[in-house]
Structure 1
Amino acid sequence: MKTSVTKSTSIIMTWSAILILCTGMTLPSIGTANATNSIIKVQSGLVTSDSLTTGDTSNWTFAGTATSHDYYEDLQGLHIGIKAPQSGQWVNYYASHSASQPNAELFHAVVTIPDTNVPDGVSNIGLYVEGSDFIPHVGCEAYADSTGYYWVVEQSSDAGQTYTILYITQPSSTPQTQDCTIITNGSNYLKVYIGGNVVFSSTTMDLGMSTPFHTYVQDDTSSRSMHYATYSNYYSTTSENIKVTNNPSNAATVKITDSSGQVLSSASVTSGTATLNVGKYSFPLDGTINVYDSNGNNIASSPVSIYGGDIFSITNTASVSQPPTGLVATTVSSSQINLSWTAPSDDGGSPITGYKIERSTNGGTFSALVSNTASAGTLFSDTGLAASTTYTYRISAINSVGTSLVSNTSSATTNPITPTTSTLTVNTQDSDRNTITGYYTELYQNGNLVDSGYTPYTFTLNNGQTYTIDVVDYGKYEFDHWLDTGSVSANRVISISSNTQITAVYKTVPQFPTGFNATTVSSTQVNLSWSAPTDNGGSPITGYEIERSVDSGTTWNIVSSNTGSTATTFSDIGLTPNTAYTYRASAINVVGTGYASNTASATTTIQLRPITLAQPGLVVSDSLTNKTMTKDQLLANQQFWHYGGSATVNNTPYDISRDPQGFHIGVQSYNDGNWTGFYGVAPSSNATLFHAVVTTPVQTIPTANDFYENGLYVQTGSQNVNYVTCFADTGTAGTVWAVVSATGNVNGATNFNLLWYDSNPNQPLTRDCTIITNGNNYLKVYLDGNMVYTNSTLNLQMPRPLIAFLEPQTSYPGQMLYGTYKDYYSTTDENVKVTNNPSNAARVDIISPSGTVIASGAVNSGVATISIGQYHYPMAANIKVYDSGNNVIASTTNMVNMFGGDVYSVR
């Protein structure tokens, strides 16, 4: 910025300060730092620095248009003094840092404005960051005029010929000395801190600043009085963040604390790295980096001196643990040995996290029983062992570094099993449960034949041993259906513990199911139903086999080999739309699969394509009824809405509050005919449609020539006060609703155009207002869902982004009158689009919950555009796509809450 900049002597009252207050936390004293983890700086983020207090100005280049100028350095900083040849003539003088800063993204200086006001002009000073071509820039500035002094953030794309104010304070409301920090990538990202508070932040800008950046401090003035701006502690760094890398695997959180333990910044650890934002602080930042695990234990800590962009690394100097001691193996039973041991006296500087347990049956060759117990416990039970067997054990400790050497060995022998005998009698029956005899049965153990005989036959067996009983096929009978305590199997496996009897029954499979039926459910599902067989073959039905054919029963494929249920229904899903399927079912019991049922066929329906939201059109919304807040609470917490107006300048009464009835703004003039107002303003955006329900408080004003206005305003975000409004105008004759456009300059609107008004008597005090505009030539306004104005050939002079105001204004001093507002929202468009329509799609309907068509649009090149600007959002509706034969071919699954600008896609 090497050219003069014209500064206005007035402040646009629609701008208000954005203050984000960062509240510190006190760090709890949890756990102790692990001395084996050290934190070292592996990369510095500092690019350039100059305290500007040494008297050495060799790193700076001085130039400018002022003929009367001066500069010098002392212990207070760099002083630049200038004055104009005559009042109103702008001159400047600057110091440009001459060092290359190719990687810098954060720039800082302490800036002091000397004047609290300038009677004969304007003085303007600040820190500026400029692209490599010396054209686009951003500035953290202070200026003073006859009304006071102000801190400002501004941006220009043409070397300051025109500029956009991104932030401005109230007059003389902040200190004259401020820390200025500008953080930018020169493309879309910009963040500015003043006095350690973020006053502007955006990730969607078009800055156009090519790298490397140039930085300079500059003094501009149009005053004839000599004044000196002061700058100190200049530096630039590569980032507003620092990184702590190489964190241990158990690291969860990294925090930076000051000497009192207050947390300055905190971040979680992801893939071994924590990224912490320190942009609001003045560098170097002296603090302590602390690393904590998920239990709040401090596992690394180190005092550091920090610059933005610094990279720190954690080094672990721990070693493997010493081995455990005092291992003892104790016999518990014939199948269990318990182990106990003492933890290592030295864990190697890293906590024990588990133990490796090894076992040997010959005392020499060990194999891993448990590779990692994942516990610091020193007890273990080894179960499922063989009786009368000696086992030898050894233990190793595990920490974050690795596995230790082994402990001492310890051995124990399991107890023997004392066998006792019992008898097992095997009987045989036919399928009608009649006793039959003389069938050959065999007894096996571990695959070896132990005994055999003809039924009924009694075996003498050892308790606690497992045997297999088999009745061999003899004549026409096959005995593999066993009955004892209700369980069945082909061959009976039994563990003998007492005298008992078991019976083998001749095998019959189930008969076929009856009444088999197939019913189409959807394009991908057919439901089946049937009745159970009249004869289950002598054994309960346990499931059904389901078969399917796509060639009318010529060939079959198994859908389910066994449903595993006695239920007589089945759903076949995942089918192909518009396809004929044939089915049959067979019953299953313990013996096997029975005969197939009759066949049944069904054809799936045509597939209905789903419609889903691909891009939301809602920019922002606030019901304005979801919080109860007082005036002081609203003014102190301007997170979204910001507040201001001429009432604060004129020192006239005003009030604001929120409750379940809406957002209330009260204003009162100090005498007849003198206008005053107050507003709530939403942040700027690229929205096209703006909405609010507006309630004006009274039907008439009692005094002649006094008026009360109340409405929704949409205004350009640039310097001039150009807007359109949907508002109520109340006087002695009553209340009239109107639509007006206005243009003006930085001081206010000067030209007004009445576009529409309602001449009817007794107009309602509450109306639903929707303003739709591109800020250029197009404007459409709805009141209570009725379009009252539309035009596409206007000259609105409202370049985007746009901002929305809820504002009452009054010239009536008799009482404070409250405007009420609720259900504010803005969207990207008045239309919705349905894209990716099938080639046979002809039209798209939006349908209300009652089935009424709300809006409709033809499909062109796969897209339907449907206007819904007259409706109140969100609008609950279904979307349906029709072909030329009026068949529904796509639909939303359920009702959707629709906003203007929504884009839906047919899948």
Structure 2
Amino acid sequence: QYTYRIYGVNAENVESSSYATVSKYTKIESPTGGSFGTVTSTSIDVSATGTLSNLTSGTSGLYFENTTVSANSGWAQTNSWSNGSLSANTQYTYQATSRNGDSVANTAAAMGSKYTLADNPVSITASDGTYADKVSLSWTSVGSASGYKVYRDGIAGVGTEIYNGVGLAYDDTAASSSHTYYLYTKNNENALSSNYVTDTGSLMTVPATPTIGAASALSTTSIRWAFTDNASNEDGFKIHNAAHSTVASNATADLSYVDETGLSANTQYTRHAHTYNGAGDSSASANASKYTLSATPSVSADKTTSTWYNTTDVIFTNAASFGAAGVQYYRYVFNQNATHTFTDAETQWSAGTLTRTASANGSWYLHVKAFNGDDVANGTQTYGPFYYDGSAPTDPSGLGLTAASVSQINLSWTGSTDTGGSNLIGYKIERAPDNSGSPGTFAQIDTDTASPYTDIGRVANTKYWYR
């Protein structure tokens, strides 16, 4: 602003006694453009560029205008305007007008255009131990966003940018362990949202090692391997042999045992357990050993059970064999009882044949109980009866002969008595020719089950001897 006064002057150069006073502002510079400060999804801060002298003098000022929505700042003596209540990711165009202290305005100057930011992201989800080869990311769609950026292990400018696109999911196959992921939205100028959301994800890790437990023999061909599950991320369990080959498995989590089948009877197996998932197998548990059940009793004898014998010994053979694939040992009793209750303190039979001797006439039985190498029984069996009769019957007596005809002699006698239990089955009848009043050589002519007996076909008036 400049102030002027005017005097009147005569020909003698004498000034008037009074003067007139007037003030005036020079014109103010026009803005040369504009700059944009803080931008959010709902506001843009603008200021004019160029020299603006004495902006606070008189009625000087700036007038900012958002020409897109016909909003303005009004005249103000500050070089900034925060234009609010805007829509996310929307382009707005601005101009600014300057005026001097006398309110003389210049022509409006263009300031340029600017997009608001997109709305902030809502959420991101990172898989945590789900996959062995990646961390899977997904996020919620934001309607105002033109795209998304994801950074690993740090905010924008610090972390590693791993995704820049318009999708709603991404697999981080370069993940190496556990990571924190930062998600931003983008506007049409690729500017990032003012805030971000995070989630932590990780690769699948090998599950914890199970604790081996006590195994149990289920049958002659199967063993149940028990363990304690110490993991929370396993897909299943494996049973390995000493060569670390899988012999049994179950693709189910949270188990306490796996059954192995296809084994041989009375055979000791040593195994260890693993948990597993997509990241691999756990380390091996301690070893456990167990025998399958023995074969069931199978014994043969050198005597049949339907025949009486006058010899005392019965020889038994283990048809199931001793050792692996058979029976470790039997406990046995040889007696005259048809049944037996085992106490497991009976005598063992673990090799070769077994010879048992009948010590009295009558029926004898072999009772056996089969065991495996862990002293676990698998069935009992009784063989018999085996009949022994070591006592001859009493002698027959009172043999009488009657000549019934010229060719027939009838015999009768008092019968014998059985004393050994095998029952009397009959008599042997022998005959001899006469030899000068004495019997010649006796020869058996027949057998009979009881008295009497008829000898026919004899020669008339001929003497015969009988016994």
TM-score by length of 2: 0.32
TM-score by length of 1: 0.18
